[in-house]
């Protein structure tokens, strides 16, 4: 039986044979190793028994609001059927909430929607199918490692994941949705040292995994850093450490190149570039999570803890533009949910008594999605469009912060 130590032994063996590896390769192995990576294992990851919560875990109203935005997009696209592709669907909660709320509140959308889940984790696929089947929604959902002609002929997504899921055919029409996906892409760690940028690698010292520094492994890192930090000597101190997510750039380009006409909805925690790479954020944003406890030690519980880094939304906007995606809007999650009518989900309380305690609890839970300083402002929503004029989407009717995405 494989244990957590197996992944450490493999990493050490790889370094002994090939030499140091990038932090990105280390993180990719820890999270996505096919046998015992964090996201591919059978351990509980999301929820009370896991290591973290997602928006969809907090309250079903999150899915209701996404459904309302999709409903508006359907009218704009004027295409039938409506293909919705969710990349990395966790336990399947968001998919279920979108479909159930459509069935209840928008029967026309429910009839037209075809939902595809692209999932890398075999264990998540099992959990998703179990959940969707229990709700009687199996006829609406397909699970695909890749989308081929004949299965979904009107939608083609090339390189939906950055590590090689390929899709046949030309660009198609539809909506691509990701919720807390990109923060889990492996990142390069970078440090400003002795007046120049160096990449952080993982090597061995006295039999232990340790960080070392050397020149960047990829010219794209140097190009990115030159653009993001035009004058680092005057802005940051020696030792400043941060992350660069090249896979996120590749991912959004792949999705954009796949679409002929449609939308890309990205929900995640992060900042525009000018707010992400601040001098005071000199330790970077990489965090590890184990049983709802956070740490900054990536070499602890390897394969058994989650690792994430904040998303650079400016990079997503710029990379998307290269693939024909234009920014529809960008805002905090709280503003987006209010624009999508989340206030309708609050239960009206005539009096506080024992009979409406459950309603009070419902409202308290619902507010977690909106709290400033918490999920409401930490999470951002970026929507990009292609093949249509810039739409006025309800999700940005309260506040659109797209101007903050300028590099």
Question: Tokens in use for 289?
Answer: 């999570």
Q: Is the pLDDT confidence value at 218 over 90? A: yes
The mean-pLDDT minimum among 292-296, 353-357, 385-389 falls in 353-357
Are residues 336 and 65 in contact, defined by beta-carbon separation less than 8 angstroms? Answer: yes
Q: Is the pLDDT confidence value at 160 over 50? A: no
Under DSSP, the state recorded for 203 is E
Q: Is the pLDDT confidence value at 342 over 70? A: yes
pLDDT in tens, 183-192: 999 999 999 9
Are residues 94 and 62 in contact, defined by beta-carbon separation less than 8 angstroms? Answer: yes
pTM, 2 dp: 0.88
The β-bridge relationship of strands 208-214 and 141-143 is unpaired
Mean per-residue pLDDT, 343-367: 60
- Of 176, 131, 135, 128, whose CA–CA distance to 152 is shortest? 176
> What's the CA gap between 149 and 341, in Å, rounded?
37
Mean per-residue pLDDT, 209-226: 95
> What's the CA gap between 220 and 189, in Å, rounded?
13
Q: Is the pLDDT confidence value at 359 over 90? A: no
pLDDT in tens, 298-341: 999 999 899 999 999 999 999 999 999 999 999 999 999 999 98
What is the sign, positive or negative, of the torsion defined by CA atoms of 141, 81, 66, 306? positive
Question: pLDDT category, 167, cuts 50, 70, 90?
Answer: very low
pLDDT in tens, 227-253: 888 765 556 888 999 999 999 999 999
Question: pLDDT category, 59, cuts 50, 70, 90?
Answer: low
Which of the given ranges, 40-44, 169-173, 342-346, has the highest pLDDT on average?
A: 342-346
E strand map for 153-224: 172-179, 188-193, 196-205, 208-214
The β-bridge relationship of strands 113-118 and 141-143 is parallel
- Measure the CA angle with vertex 146, ends 143 and 147; round to 5°: 85
> What's the CA gap between 38 and 306, in Å, rounded?
7
- Measure the CA angle with vertex 389, ends 154 and 62; round to 5°: 70
- The percentage of residues in the chain with a pLDDT greater than 90, rounded to a whole number, is 59
Question: Tokens in use for 406?
Answer: 């300028």
Question: Tokens in use for 30?
Answer: 């820890």
Mean per-residue pLDDT, 70-78: 96
Residue 215's Cβ-count burial label (10 Å; 0-12, 13-18, 19+) is exposed
Question: pLDDT category, 48, cuts 50, 70, 90?
Answer: low
Sequence-ordered list of residues with C-beta below 8 angstroms from that of 256, at least 6 positions apart, any chain:
264, 319, 320, 322, 323, 324, 325, 384, 386
> What's the CA gap between 72 and 152, in Å, rounded?
22
pLDDT of residue 156: 45
Helices (H), 324-368: 333-339, 357-367
What domains, with CATH codes, occur in the chain? 55-185+244-342+380-401 (3.40.50.12710)
The mean-pLDDT minimum among 32-41, 69-78, 271-280 falls in 32-41
3-state secondary structure of 401: coil
Q: Is the pLDDT confidence value at 153 over 50? A: no
Q: Is the pLDDT confidence value at 178 over 70? A: yes
């Amino acid at each position: 039986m494989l244990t957590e130590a197996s992944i450490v032994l493999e990493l050490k063996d790889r370094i002994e044979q090939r030499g140091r590896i990038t932090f990105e390769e280390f993180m990719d192995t820890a999270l996505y190793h096919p046998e015992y990576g964090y996201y591919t294992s059978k351990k509980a990851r999301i929820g009370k028994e896991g290591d973290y919560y997602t928006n969809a875990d907090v309250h079903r109203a999150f899915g209701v609001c996404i459904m309302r935005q999709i409903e508006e997009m359907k009218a704009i696209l004027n295409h039938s059927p409506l293909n919705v592709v969710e990349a990395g669907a966790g336990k399947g909660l968001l998919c279920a909430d979108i479909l159930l709320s459509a069935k209840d509140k928008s029967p026309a959308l429910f009839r037209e929607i075809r939902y595809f889940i692209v999932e890398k984790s075999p264990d998540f696929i099992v959990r998703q199918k179990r959940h969707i089947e229990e709700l009687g929604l199996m006829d609406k959902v397909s699970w695909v490692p890749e989308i081929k002609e004949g299965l979904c002929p009107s939608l083609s997504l090339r390189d939906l994941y950055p590590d090689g899921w390929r899709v046949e055919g030309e660009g198609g029409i539809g909506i691509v949705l990701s919720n807390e996906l990109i923060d889990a892409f492996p990142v390069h760690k970078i440090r400003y040292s002795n007046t120049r940028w160096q990449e952080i690698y993982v090597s061995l010292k006295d039999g232990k995994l340790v960080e070392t520094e050397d020149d960047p492994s990829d010219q794209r890192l140097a190009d990115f850093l030159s653009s993001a930090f035009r004058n680092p000597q005057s802005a940051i101190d020696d030792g400043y450490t941060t992350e660069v997510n090249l896979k996120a750039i590749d991912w959004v380009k792949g999705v954009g190149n796949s679409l002929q006409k449609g939308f890309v909805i990205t929900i995640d925690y992060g900042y525009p570039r000018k707010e992400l790479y601040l001098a005071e954020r000199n330790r970077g944003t990489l965090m590890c999570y184990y049983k709802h406890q956070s740490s900054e030690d990536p070499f602890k519980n390897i394969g058994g803890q989650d690792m994430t880094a904040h998303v650079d939304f400016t990079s997503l906007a710029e990379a998307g533009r290269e693939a024909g995606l234009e920014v529809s809007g960008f805002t905090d999650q709280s503003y987006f949910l209010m624009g999508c009518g989340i206030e309708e989900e609050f239960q009206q309380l005539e009096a506080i008594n024992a009979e409406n305690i459950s309603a009070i609890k419902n409202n308290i839970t619902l507010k977690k999605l909106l709290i400033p300083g918490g999920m409401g402002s930490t999470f951002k929503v970026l929507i990009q469009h292609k093949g249509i004029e810039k739409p006025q989407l309800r999700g940005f009717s309260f506040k659109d912060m797209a101007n903050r995405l300028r590099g």
